[in-house]
Amino acid sequence: MEIARDLEQKLGLKDVDYRLNLSKDELFHEAIANDRGRIRPDGPDDEQKAYPTKLGIDGPLVYYTDPTCTGRPVTDTFGVAHSELEDKVWWKNDFSKFDPDKFDALLKRVVAHLNAKNARLYVKDVYCGTDPEYAVPYRFVGEYAAHAFFADNMFPKGLAGVADAESKRWTMLNVPSFHCDPDRDGTRSARIVCLDFKNRIALVAGRADYCGVVKKAMFTVMNYLLPEMGHMSMHCSANVGSRGDGAILFGLSGTGKTTLSADPKRELIGDDEHAWTAGGISNLEDGCYAKLIDLNKEAEPVIAAALSMKGTLIENVPALPGKRMEDLDPQDLDLEDGSITENTRFSYPLTCNPNVASGAKGPHPETIVLLTADAFGVLPPISVLDAKEVMYHFVMGFTAKLAGTEVGVTEPKAAFSSCFGAPFMAQKPSVYAKILAKKMEQNETRCVLLNTGWSGGGYGTGKRISIHDTRALLDAALAGDLHQPGAEYDVHPIFNLKMPKSCPGVDSKILDPRNTWSDKDAYDAQAQKLAQMFRDQFEKQGFGELGIEPVM
């Protein structure tokens, strides 16, 4: 019971019933039998949370979160503001300061709550990172077997060669049954997700049982730790071609990060979270956590096939009307049903992909792709970036939300997320931008800005750039065609971006977006409007003071 002794010493847990490192099959049955909580807005706190499908143990586990937590609880996410860390951490609305004394008192109350109820706790020991040079041991301790099952899916297990593992270990204590008191505990609501970088503890309490918390909390931890080691931490997808040419693709939701990295001609390293070290690129994870809403099974055959695989987890997809989940084949589920949430999710091991790079690792990237989906229809389909432009567009992290996707959004809306993952970036954006620039210089890595958005007009007027053209542009970038000596460019007069004059397999007319608009004056006005949004965001975030040069 060495684990029990460690947890008593670290947290004070002593009168609890542990389920230590159970197998996936055991966790499947435990989740169905024991995970209880709220799954309906007006429902009780003792409803069944996890269900089998018709396939039973040979198929997926289906799990339902609290209805108030179908995504990350960003306003309830904090870091403990120890004085020695306060100036280093990038504090923001979705990662706020939490008083150290308040945190210590809250943690003691949560532990006392678990000891008093003789709680059943599931423990799963995994790692964050596939490379033992930087990998961090991660111990999940929580009330739900489904969360331990998810951790088993998403993180490497049994990684050999991690030096001083115990001194690096992070522990997550995940307690949905404890509800915070804001007046007493200093929280914003009855729930909290809080990271203590000094003592290597992640506390999750209250109605914060979305599986993504188990994953993204540790990604935030790694985004703090990896730069301290001189490594680049990245929210990106990555793959490698047949000649050993690595590539990484940064991008926010809806830009094509996952779809474009899934290329039958290239091996997948991973689709979401990576490190770039002196040895190359490596995945932080051992699984994928994909959106399911409106999944096109023909376009996403890997996810479609994995829906029926043993050891996977489906989150917040309702059963068919009048049917029990236990009687349904997972392939019959209505993936367009957003009645619980538009953020339905699916967790599956990386091995469900048929074409994964050995060890989820790859070489240094030859090409970096910054993805954006410009719904204003004014950015070039592809632009070649120099080092200063890479840093600028990396910290800006631009894409656009579409009209109709949110209440009150009647025209495209600019969305900026630094480093293409601002909520999870625990250090300041310039830290990552400078490491990225240094590694690109050391490895002679080229970079393009690839726009998967609209052409010939904005959303509702123009058309989305075809997947055929996007693939051709990406293939040319990965092959180095756009960076060849003698390649010719036009410079956009408003965005100051270098636009290739030609690209194999693509009509050269579309490469300058102004050519695709019938009303040139309207194009100029919209382009000026977007450029001003960039300048306003740059000023608002104070990127100039952080050493980033404005290039627009």
Burial of 102 (0-12, 13-18, 19+ CB in 10 A): middle
pLDDT tens-digit map of 435-466: 999 999 999 999 999 999 999 999 889 999 99
pLDDT digits (tens, 9 = 90+) for 315-331: 999 999 999 999 999 99
Q: Rounded to an integer, what distance in angstroms lies between the CA atom of residue 242 and that of residue 202?
A: 40
Identify whether the C-beta of residue 199 lies closer than 8 Å to the C-beta of residue 100: no
Which single residue is written with the structure tokens 């115990």?
166
Residue 407 has pLDDT above 60, yes or no: no
Catalytic, 253? Answer: yes
Alpha-helical runs (H) found in 379-463: 387-396, 429-443
Active site includes 82? no
The string of pLDDT tens digits covering residues 520-546 is 999 999 999 999 999 999 999 999 998
Going from the N-terminus, what domains does the chain have, and what CATH number goes with each?
2-45+74-228 (3.40.449.10), 232-286+358-546 (3.90.228.20)
Query: CB of 479 within 8 A of CB of 283?
Result: no
Residue 323 appears among annotated catalytic residues: no
The average pLDDT across 98-104 equals 98
- Averaged pLDDT for residues 346-359: 92
109 is catalytic: no
Q: How many CA atoms lie within 13 A of 306 on its CB side?
A: 25
pLDDT at 401: 74
Q: What are the tens digits of pLDDT across the range 3-51? A: 999 999 999 999 999 999 999 999 999 999 999 999 999 999 999 999 9
**Single-letter code of the amino acid located at 42:** D
Instruction: Confirm whether 42 is a catalytic residue.
Output: no
pLDDT of res. 410:
54
What's the average model confidence in pLDDT over 345-369? 94
Catalytic-role residue among 147, 257, 274, 393: 257
pTM over 0.85: yes
From the candidates 72, 191, 215, 498, give the one annotated as an active-site residue: 72
| Residue 409 pLDDT exceeds 50 | no
254 — pLDDT class (breaks 50, 70, 90): confident
383 alpha carbon, distance to own chain's centre: 25
| pLDDT of 264 strictly over 90 | no
Looking at the chain, the whole-number percentage of residues with pLDDT higher than 90 is 91
Q: Return the SS3 of 511.
A: helix
Beta strand 192-196 pairing with 201-205 = antiparallel
Which tokens is 455 given? 């052409």
Catalytic option among 49, 139, 200, 216: 216
The helix or strand, by DSSP H or E, that contains position 524, with its residue range, turns out to be: helix 520-541
360 pLDDT more than 80: yes
Instruction: State yes or no: is 257 an active-site residue.
Output: yes
Q: Which of 196, 245, 272, 337 is catalytic?
A: 272
Instruction: Show Cβ contacts of residue 375 under 8 Å, excluding neighbours closer than 6 positions.
Output: 400, 401, 402, 403, 412, 453, 454, 458, 459
